[in-house]
Structure 1
């Protein structure tokens, strides 16, 4: 079994990497049968982006602060744990957009695509779903579209809904909405095309962020699922992702 590693820039993760590499060997990511991500949820996202063209299963070990997408950091019996792990299959979002200078940009997001105000000025955004205008003007710090995997991350902090893995849904969630003040967002089918158009974009600049990729001064952004890309996350049987999502929904 060939194992590749994706390691966070943390001392505990780096030390664990040295021990695991000495014990189990290491293969280049492009040749690995499995990739082990050492760190927090950000490290898992980095690993998934790195292997995206090859669809290699990724198993996370938590050396970070949150680790919702990670397994416990036990270094024994890694081969056996990889063989026994339960898979969760996900597809990322594809973001396309244009900035104020007319430049085009594109990126993939595993967790969410966020639109965030760049200055003290409130962002104003028009929202269309499948070509139909659904919200003429949202005045807020921003707005995001999250996958089920990302629904427990930034989306949850913004009071968005937790989506079960495999639910084939997306969470559209405002971030500190000013108007309409009572709008809490929407739950959409995973096949929807969502378009955001910036209102007064020069006065109220907005950044579009797909996971860790940021594009400044966006004029418009369109987001749709990329169903042709399938990613596999691996979890120990007692830490299956769907069970962890269920537990999160009943936590305080």
Structure 2
């Protein structure tokens, strides 16, 4: 066991489903319910979407988040069980989540600054394919990418939409970001890139009036962007706890050998 004790105060939060809320009530009756302000550990009951919401809510709070699956996929969650919860939390392995920061500029409004835990993605807004220029650390790397979209994914997000777009799976502690295109048309064979997590990526929208593009940071969307800059946010983190028997590294390995 690490520095977490069996007496740590716990706050249970749950998704809006009846199953998740019922589980939260039962667990609160067994282990007590601390307020979010006073809790040392937050136990999230739901699926990956609710886990991401909880991580965003607790980003920078210093509280550890322990998820238990009461949703569909649950890649970020531990298996649900009512017994031995304090012991599981005390023995769990901590992983640090560092979000991405998106700065998006539009024609009509001021720049927007939004954090994302999984990925920041750009998508075509109309029937016209998006046309983008990609700059990494002030050096143009791709003068023109014609595609349905493109994303920058964190290690935590590499198993989500990034994986569906055939991007690489990254270990959670890898100092990398995945730059992955969605249905690239030109250059057709470009499959993306692995970038150091200190890199700054700028997307310039070419022919923005003819080929409008939306930018999405997790679930927050900015329409009709002109430029989007993405970098890892270094000043805020969140801690996720995983059962040692089913650690993040094990999940990543298992996912890569699925067929």
Using structure 2 for the length normalisation, give the TM-score: 0.94
TM-superposed deviation, 1:104? 1.1
Unaligned runs of 5+ in 2: 1-7
Partner residue, 2:39: 32
Q: Secondary structure at the match of 2:37?
A: helix
Q: Secondary structure at the match of 2:94?
A: strand
Contact 1:98 1:218 survives alignment (8 Å): yes
Partner residue, 1:126: 133
Match of 2:218 among 193, 197, 211: 211
Give the 4+ runs in structure 1 shifted more than 4 A.
Answer: none
Measure, in 2, the Cα distance between the counterparts of 1:214 and 1:55: 27
Contact 2:45 2:67 survives alignment (8 Å): yes
Unaligned runs of 5+ in 1: none
Contact 1:100 1:202 survives alignment (8 Å): no
TM-superposed deviation, 1:97? 1.4
TM-superposed deviation, 1:28? 2.1
Using structure 1 for the length normalisation, give the TM-score: 0.97
Partner residue, 2:155: 148
Measure, in 2, the Cα distance between the counterparts of 1:56 and 1:204: 43
RMSD: 1.1
Match of 1:117 among 107, 112, 124: 124
How far does the alpha carbon of each residue in 1:176-226 deviate from its partner, in whole angstroms, 9 at most, with x for none? 111111000000001100000111112222111111211111110101111
Partner residue, 2:4: none
Partner residue, 2:5: none
Match of 2:236 among 226, 229, 233: 229
Matched length: 252
TM-superposed deviation, 1:130? 0.3
Match of 1:61 among 55, 68, 74: 68
